[in-house]
Amino acid sequence: MNHMTQLSEQEIIRREKLQELQKLGIDPYPAAEYPVNSTSVNILKNFSEETKEQFQDVCLAGRIMTVRDMGKANFVKIQDAEGLIQLYIRRDDICPGEDKSLYDVVFKKLMDIGDIIGVKGYVFTTKTGETSVHVRELILLSKSLRPLPIVKEKDGEVFDEVTDPEFKYRQRYVDLVINPDVKQVFVKRTKIMQTIRDFYNNLGYLEVETPILQPIPGGAAARPFVTHHNALDMPLYLRIANELYLKRLIVGGFEGVYEFAKDFRNEGMDRTHNPEFTVMEMYAAYKDYEWMMTTTETLLEKVAIALHGTTKVQVGDKEIDFKAPFRRVTMYDAIKEHTGFDISEMNEEQLREVCKKLDIHVDPKIGKGKLIDEIFGEKCEGHYIQPTFITDYPVEMSPLTKKHRSKAGLVERFELMVNGKEIANAYSELNDPIDQRERFEEQIQLMERGDDEAMYIDYDFLRALEYGMPPTSGIGIGIDRLTMLMTNQPSIQDVLFFPQMKQEKMD
């Protein structure tokens, strides 16, 4: 099929304009550097009668967003990386000689909304008081062949195309142009990560990188993505966590290490899960989970203040306060409070009975740890809106965690719940290699029962522990979920530039 037959009328017209420009000897995609020396925000913020001498020779570039035609002059708004600014383009200024074709033909007839232009001129204030650039020179830097979506009609109903999630997530590049507020979410995401980096760097901890392609998918209970390495003729897994590698570095003598890790889990997708996601994991030698709770609440208080100037963050219709200290509740107390059942002494059979009474459907293949997890997830998690540490988990739920120093059958672990979701998971790390081997072997038994999220045994990690790992505390913080909270976004897809989607049919 001829590509041109699939084009809309608008797209055909723009391609014809492209050819006209080329016939006139104008390169619609020039290669040379364009000497931008200012931005929309710099001009709008700093221009005044007192400073106007500094704005006599500005050069900026951006995308044409609106055009108001006044005949021999035009008011044009362009959008650069920082925002919108008005240009005043007059025929006799950009065409001082006899030849007026740059204005009459090129600008008026062959340029469109969406084209990227460069302009030189001086800044002034219009009669209506709007700071604008009076253009002396104009050049086309990139011809847009596809019109920006303004409205879309479907079944007689007109709606703004860029509120359509399918469109937003698939064509984020257009979403960013049309909805400048979207850009701020991602600017804030970077600021969150920078604040965390600064915090750990100030503690003297080292940012590191560990393998994404792993021979054994360890450090979490999740179904991995599998690939194949041709030269070594062996399967490899995209990492589900970086925990076991970071702990090897603690064995190697680092006091503290952290990594912003892309992790991959071959599981479902919903408003809080994407198969590819970002976790920050940090491990500190000679610390425990109590220290980690205090450190984490201090960190998140700092993140809220860095982004909002206050510890209070609006999330939907709720105000969440990240002021330290956060509330602490044990796992068993949380379940007792929200279900009425004291499960602290129950075996697997009794837990199944509780699930039945609470109308929680559970897979017969899962063991005690997963049953408790299901009860907590179904009946408790959603109640914790303000930041709350859920502590002291049953040993069956936590194969990499040190046994509790004073409570039999429990481990020294916490998860941080905010707005009814887990955003961090932390332990006093298990550093007893014999205990660790036994816990891994229990996971193998679960795998044999058909639990496809049970952990694999990493024998090299056991070998590392046998050399001796100091008492250590570790944490994983979900960066995507934290960003959702801190930027008031309802879905993980809104905080990922390019979320995973079904393949699009491209004819």
Distance between CA atoms of residues 184 and 401, nearest Å: 38
Residue 71 in any domain: the answer is: yes
Q: Flag whether 422 is marked binding.
A: yes
* N-to-C CA span, the chain: 9
pLDDT at position 155:
57
Count other C-beta atoms under 10 Å from residue 340's C-beta: 11
Q: Flag whether 415 is marked binding.
A: yes
Is 102 in the same domain as 68? Answer: yes
Is 28 in the same domain as 121? Answer: yes
Residue 505 in any domain: the answer is: no
Residue 233 in any domain: the answer is: yes
Between these two residues, 395 and 494, which has the higher pLDDT value?
A: 494
Is 128 in the same domain as 158? Answer: no
pLDDT at position 450:
74
- What integer best gives the mean pLDDT of the chain? 93
Is 430 in the same domain as 293? Answer: yes
Residue 149 in any domain: the answer is: no
Is 357 in the same domain as 405? Answer: no
pLDDT at position 19:
98
Count other C-beta atoms under 10 Å from residue 51's C-beta: 10
Stretch 351-378: mean pLDDT: 91
Is 210 in the same domain as 198? Answer: yes
pLDDT exceeds cutoff 90 at 91: yes
Is 261 in the same domain as 393? Answer: yes
pLDDT (tens digit, 9 = 90+) per residue, 103-118? 999 999 999 999 999 9
Are 135 and 119 in contact, with CB atoms under 8 Å apart?
A: yes
Is 58 in the same domain as 171? Answer: no
Please say whether the dihedral angle defined by the alpha carbons of residues 499, 482, 477 and 426, taken in this order, is positive or negative. Answer: negative
pLDDT exceeds cutoff 80 at 248: yes
* Dihedral pair phi/psi, residue 178, rounded to 5°: -80, -35
Residue 504 in any domain: the answer is: no
pLDDT category of residue 154 using cuts at 50, 70 and 90: low
pLDDT exceeds cutoff 60 at 158: no
This prediction's pTM: 0.89
Are 78 and 176 in contact, with CB atoms under 8 Å apart?
A: no
pLDDT at position 317:
96
Domain boundaries, position 107: 3-142
Looking at the 3D structure of the chain, how many domains does it have?
4
Is 246 in the same domain as 303? Answer: yes
Is 390 in the same domain as 378? Answer: no
Is 162 in the same domain as 49? Answer: no
User: Where are the strands (E) in 34-83, listed by range?
Assistant: 58-69, 73-79
pLDDT category of residue 1 using cuts at 50, 70 and 90: very low
pLDDT (tens digit, 9 = 90+) per residue, 285-329? 999 999 999 999 999 999 999 999 999 999 999 999 999 999 999
Residue 507 in any domain: the answer is: no
pLDDT category of residue 135 using cuts at 50, 70 and 90: very high
Nearest CA among 386, 402, 425 for reference residue 280: 425
Residue 148 in any domain: the answer is: no
pLDDT at position 505:
77
pLDDT (tens digit, 9 = 90+) per residue, 21-71? 999 999 999 999 999 999 999 999 999 999 999 999 999 999 999 999 998
pLDDT at position 442:
83
| DSSP state letter for 107 | I
Residue 405 in any domain: the answer is: yes
Is 370 in the same domain as 392? Answer: no
